[in-house]
Amino acid sequence: MWRQFFSLSPANKRLLFFTAGVCLLWSCVPPFLWMVAEYFGVISPWWPALFVFGQLFLAVQTIVPALLLEPEHRTRGFYLFWLLGLTALVWLINQVSIGELRLLSDALASATLLFAGTLVGVALARYVKRLWEVLPLCLVMMMADFSSWAVGPTAEFAREITAYYLDPVGPPPLIDLVLVKFYYPGAAGLVPVFGVSDWIMVVFFAAVARRYGINDNLLGAPPTPEYPDRRWGRYLPMAALALFAGLMLAHLSGSFIPALPLIALVVLASYLLFRLKSRLFRTKN
């Protein structure tokens, strides 16, 4: 019975272990940047943006091996088992978030969220049977996120998180468990920058782009099955850049701004541009 939850093809096993290993390595980045900031201080107004972009760019590299996972038939029980397992792991890591261990445990919990979000995003992309199905999904996602931000639970969650990190007394709000945290220059520890749902959609759009032959990599060719190859360290999908733009807008405005609508708009525009270019190319030939 339990074997069905752990049986994977040899290729997928290697890619999953590689993805997990890269995420584990990423968890060392925020503490390292904390030490850099402690030593040098804030030496430039662009320092915060550089730190956030660096952590996000390195996080994006964890997507590359996951994009190359081979399709395997899985039951809902398989996905539910691993989703609950990773959720429990994040919860357990957060239980040791005390004293000097807080920065390390927050980094490890964020790496676990990135790993779980990457797998969920890749799995969801396999249910897209036609590229146009992304359009209604994006529209629903934008309307739901905007309404939740304006009058729904997201507004309340944002107030709770802001109040806690301004005066961290007592246990953090429950929503803190699903927030990915980066190091921000001047902060005493890691601070939440986006939710795991934002990351899931970044990975989802990257996986859909690869599935339908759309090169969304702003730094060159997309990842190929011959991994590792020259794509390592040179992968920046359009959705990730949109997420970074959303983070910077929130930073400059000093208020919470939902990133999902911006990600959806940018990705839809890039898909449309790709289709137009492909049609023009076929017309010329």
State how far the Cα of 79 lies from the Cα of 161, in Å rounded to an integer.
Answer: 29
Collapsing DSSP to helix, strand or coil, 225 comes out as coil
The residue type found at 270 is S
List b or e across 148-167, with b for residues whose CB sees 16 or more CB atoms inside 10 angstroms.
bbeeeebeebbeebeebbee
- What does the pLDDT read at residue 200? 92
Cis peptide before 228 (omega within 30 of 0): yes
Mean pLDDT of 162-180: 81
Question: Is the pTM higher than 0.85?
Answer: yes
Mean pLDDT of 186-200: 88
For residues 63 and 237, is the Cβ–Cβ distance under 8 A? yes
Q: Are strands 179-183 and 190-195 parallel, antiparallel or unpaired?
A: antiparallel
- What does the pLDDT read at residue 240? 94
For residue 28, give both structure tokens: 């060392």
Least reliable range by pLDDT among 27-41, 77-91, 144-158, 166-180: 144-158
Residues in the chain: 285
* pLDDT per residue as tens digits for the range 134-159: 888 888 877 877 777 766 677 777 77
Q: Is the confidence at residue 277, as pLDDT, over 70?
A: yes
Residues above pLDDT 90, as percent of the chain? 22
For residues 103 and 189, is the Cβ–Cβ distance under 8 A? yes
- What does the pLDDT read at residue 226? 53
Q: Is the confidence at residue 228, as pLDDT, over 50?
A: no
By C-alpha distance, which of 134, 6, 16, 10 is closest to 68? 16
* pLDDT per residue as tens digits for the range 48-99: 889 999 999 999 999 998 888 887 777 777 777 778 888 888 888 777 655 5
3-state SS, 137-179, equals: HHHHHHHHHHHHHHCCHHHHHHHHHHHHHHCCCCCCCHHHHHE
- Angle at which helices 101-125 and 29-40 pack, to 10 degrees? 130
Q: Is the confidence at residue 163, as pLDDT, over 90?
A: no
- What does the pLDDT read at residue 4? 61
Collapsing DSSP to helix, strand or coil, 109 comes out as helix
